[in-house]
């Protein structure tokens, strides 16, 4: 803003500072929105993981009653909840469906982790520009209160649930985010790369996703996509 | 009687042109999407533009790969749109042929007869032929513009191509409007 040529407008008192203020508020607002989008994604991932893990159905001890009862929780360690691996619906077993779901979970949690990194960098960069020192600096800090509690159920926390596994691109090696170069006053090009990365969903192979849905849809006789 | 029939042909031509305009805006938006990817590629190919993302192995390869896949899909969609536009050209051809059929038995006198302020049959036919020629030429022109768009185009070339695609130089809207009246 300070460098922009305002032409005739520069005669107006305080126009520069007013415009700066406005942009500043706008950026605040957008940062909040970015964070809440991320939060929405975390919640979606939690639901995804929950759904993928709740396919099995266990027999419940029904005592002397002749009615057979079922439960989501395992009571008898010898009961695997998958009907002994028999095909459900048409020809696939529960574990086959679980593997497909697991594949989806892996793609989406990896993508979530990558997006988390982008959010973290952008928030860090704006807080640096505001001259604020608080803000998020480390991969192992909550982006919002309670984030790690949320992430726990997605299986993204490793080492006894205290450490968030680092971001990763597909099956490439991951590396420690604390070695990264901090994002300070990023250029237009850098922001473009960040935006493209956000939009590209690098870890989600759309072809594979639709393949999975069509395989599952065919097997259970429901059109899923 | 004949004039009435030709008027119906004009009505059908109008529908085809409306269809063309729709496909034209679809093509333009596809072109826009393709060109923003093409213009982004050089930015994505430079390590220095990755900022903090540099520490992530594979990011550049994955990002470029994904963009290329998207680009190819858009190229494919554009080809589809061009095929549909060609369909419009064929329909216009058919309409004009039908008009010829209708007028086959007419004498030169009938063809040039004016009734009141209404145009002669010959004028109507010429109008249809003019529209047919414009849209056919524009189709050929468009397909060469579309095939000139590759990932090696510079921003300037892309802007020029976009302008050509938007302008539709072979179609004079004014002329079409007057003919259709």
Averages of pLDDT over runs of 10 residues in chain A (225 residues) are 74 84 92 95 95 89 79 84 84 92 95 94 83 69 89 84 84 82 87 95 94 93 81
Min Cα distance A118 → chain B (Å) is 8
> Is A42 a domain residue?
yes
Does A15 fall in a domain?
Answer: no
In a domain, A18, yes or no: no
CA distance A181 to B55: 8
Bridge partner list, A59: A70
pLDDT for position A225: 67
Tell me whether residue A205 is in a domain. Answer: yes
Residue A199 lies in a domain: yes
Task: Report the predicted TM-score, pTM, of the whole model to 2 decimal places.
Answer: 0.81
Distance between CA atoms of residues A147 and A40, nearest Å: 11
Indicate whether A163 belongs to any domain.
yes
Q: What is the pLDDT of residue A134?
A: 59
- Looking at residue A84, its pLDDT comes to 81
* CA separation, residue A35 to residues A143, A192, A207, B110 (Å): 8, 19, 29, 76
- Tally of domains within chain A: 1
Say how many domains are in chain B: 1
pLDDT more than 70, % of chain B: 99
pLDDT band (50, 70, 90) for residue B97:
very high
Q: What pLDDT was estimated at residue A185?
A: 84
Residue A113 maps to a domain: yes
With contacts defined as CB-CB under 8 Å, which chain B residues touch A193?
43-44, 49-51, 53, 63
- Per the structure, the complete domain to which residue B162 belongs is given by 1-180
Degrees (nearest 5) of the Cα angle A8, A12, A18? 115
Residue-wise pLDDT for B35-58, tens only, equals: 999 999 999 999 999 988 988 999
| Residue B60 sits at the chain A interface (C-beta within 8 Å) | no
> Can you tell me which residue has the tokens 């419940």?
A60
| Domain enclosing residue A89, as ranges | 27-55+84-220
User: What pLDDT band is residue B176 in, cutting at 50, 70 and 90?
Assistant: confident
Test B58 with A167 for CB contact under 8 angstroms: no
- Residue A81 has a pLDDT of 84
Residue-wise pLDDT for B121-130, tens only, equals: 898 899 999 9
Residue A1 lies in a domain: no
What are the tens digits of pLDDT across the range B132-159? 999 999 999 999 999 999 989 999 999 9
ipTM: 0.79
B170 φ/ψ angles, rounded to the nearest 5 degrees: -85, -10
Task: Note the Cα A100 to chain centre separation in Å.
Answer: 18
For residue A111, give Cα distances in angstroms to A106, A181, A204, B57: 8, 21, 7, 15
- Position A70 scores a pLDDT of 84
Asked if the Cβ–Cβ distance from A181 to B57 is below 8 Å, we say no
User: Which CATH number belongs to the domain containing residue B15 in this structure?
Assistant: 1.20.1050
């Amino acid at each position: 803003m300070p460098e922009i040529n305002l032409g005739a407008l520069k005669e107006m008192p305080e126009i520069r500072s007013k415009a700066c203020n406005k942009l500043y508020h706008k950026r605040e607002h957008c940062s909040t929105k970015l964070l809440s989008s991320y939060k929405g994604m975390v919640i979606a991932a939690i639901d995804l993981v929950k759904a993928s893990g709740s396919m099995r159905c266990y027999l419940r001890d029904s005592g002397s009653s002749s009615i057979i009862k079922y439960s989501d929780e395992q009571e008898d360690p010898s009961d695997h909840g998958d009907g002994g691996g028999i095909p459900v619906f048409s020809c696939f077993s529960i574990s086959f469906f679980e593997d497909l779901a697991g594949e989806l979970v892996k793609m989406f949690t990896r993508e979530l982790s990558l997006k988390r990194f982008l959010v973290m960098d952008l928030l860090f960069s704006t807080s640096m520009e505001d001259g604020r020192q608080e803000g998020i600096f480390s991969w192992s800090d909550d982006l919002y209160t309670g984030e790690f509690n949320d992430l726990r159920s997605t299986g993204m926390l490793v080492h006894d649930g205290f450490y968030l596994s680092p971001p990763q691109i597909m099956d490439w090696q991951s590396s420690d985010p604390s070695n990264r170069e901090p994002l300070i006053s990023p250029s237009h090009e850098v922001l473009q790369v960040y935006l493209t990365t956000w939009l590209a969903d690098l870890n989600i192979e759309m072809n594979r996703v639709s393949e999975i849905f069509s395989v599952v849809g065919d097997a259970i006789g429901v059109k899923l996509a | 009687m004949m004039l009435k029939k030709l008027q119906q042909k004009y009505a059908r031509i109008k529908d085809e042109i409306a269809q063309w305009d729709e496909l034209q805006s679809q093509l333009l938006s596809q072109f826009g999407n393709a060109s923003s990817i093409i213009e982004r590629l050089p930015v994505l190919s430079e390590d220095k533009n990755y900022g903090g993302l540099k520490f992530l192995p594979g990011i550049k390869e994955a990002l470029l790969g994904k963009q290329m896949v998207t680009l190819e899909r858009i190229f494919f969609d554009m080809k589809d749109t061009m095929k549909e536009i060609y369909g419009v050209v064929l329909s216009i051809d058919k309409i004009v042929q039908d008009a010829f059929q209708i007028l086959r038995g007419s004498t030169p006198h009938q063809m040039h007869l004016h009734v009141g302020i209404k145009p002669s049959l010959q004028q109507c036919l010429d109008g249809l032929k003019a529209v047919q020629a414009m849209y056919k030429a524009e189709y050929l022109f468009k397909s060469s513009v579309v095939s000139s768009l590759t990932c090696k185009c510079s921003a300037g070339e892309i802007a020029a191509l976009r302008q050509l695609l938007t302008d539709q130089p072979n179609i004079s809207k004014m002329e079409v409007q007057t003919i259709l009246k």
